[in-house]
Amino acid sequence: MSEKIQNIEFPWGHKRRFNAYPDHFRKLFGARVQKVSIDAGFTCPNRDGTKGRGGCTYCNNDAFNPSYCVPEKTVTRQIAEGIAFHRNRYREAGSYLAYFQAYSNTYAPLAKLKDLYEEALSYPGVIGLIIGTRPDCIDDDKLEYLKELSEKHYVAVEYGIESCYDKTLRRINRGHSFKEAEDAVKRTSGMGINTGAHFIFGLPGESRDEMLAEADIISQLPLTTVKFHQLQIIRGTAMEKEYTSNPSDFHLFTWDEYLGFFIKFLERLSPAIVVERFTGEAPPRFLTEQKWGKKRTDQITGLIEKRLEELDTWQGRLYEDKR
């Protein structure tokens, strides 16, 4: 058997076996950067009737919003409280990124977006913006403005894409196609703006092979960062009802299954894409079942890195560049 790869630098410039988000930022800024979440009171076209009502079947934004984030507070106050929150828990960060997280954060007239984003950027220590949104909530004027902002600040737009398959997007009531997502990613990245995407594994109607094949599809997109979540059934959602009436339609990953699956997925994912998250962690009170026991994000990252080491493999080992 050949000797294990050890102490080599991977194409992303360090020895960790995947292109890790914190290291990416350390390389960009030379120090730790902390994200601070903001709920600026946006809604979403899939909730207000423009695209649909009721939203995506799995969505309950409260499950992912930190407690200091409420739209009744100004952006400035949320940032101040967010910084204090993180300072109490973790090492002090040198600088901060304002993360417009809740709902669709480009879904408003440009003038309103400018006010909110620029309020965030005027806060001492805030060096950039991360803007979570839907692929159908962006247009050329907004992109042009974000491009200008990105000449002076770090700016990233993160799109919820969730699946590369239209049959799944229809089933979970996303209200957009994969083609629309692909176009939004290409247009954003084409303007020189950092572009992120979010995907969920375990959505109903998708086989494990289909999910694995998404690594090849995602690798062809001009993405800077990606976040992955395992499907969790959140209380009070349409998906909870679907799950309760047809549990056999779902096959939720156990932790062991997910670990095995995710290693295979990472091996096929382009080494150029920075991986921010492997899993999601809705607070237990929102979950209909908690199959994984209590595992913090850092423990999950540790377990994934340990398995990569044991198997002597790494992100992109089986990636084929087809671009």
User: Which residues sit at the interface with ligand SF4, rule CB under 6 A?
Assistant: 44, 46-47, 55-56, 59, 61, 103-104, 134, 160
CB of 7 to ligand SF4, least distance (A): 42
CB of 166 to ligand SF4, least distance (A): 16
Contact 220, 323 (CB under 8 A): yes
Nearer to ligand SF4, 61 or 288 (CB): 61
Nearer to ligand SF4, 19 or 101 (CB): 101
Read off the amino acid at residue 148. Answer: E
Nearer to ligand SF4, 51 or 307 (CB): 51
Instruction: Report the residue closest to ligand SF4, judged by CB.
Output: 55
CB of 56 to ligand SF4, least distance (A): 3
CB of 70 to ligand SF4, least distance (A): 16
CB of 53 to ligand SF4, least distance (A): 10
Q: How far is CA 62 from the centre of its chain?
A: 16
Handedness of CA 139, 141, 147, 153 (dihedral sign): negative
How far apart CA 251 and CA 225 sit, in angstroms, is 27
Nearer to ligand SF4, 75 or 234 (CB): 234
Q: Choose among 323, 316, 312, 209: nearest CA to 266.
A: 316
Nearer to ligand SF4, 190 or 236 (CB): 236
CB of 239 to ligand SF4, least distance (A): 11
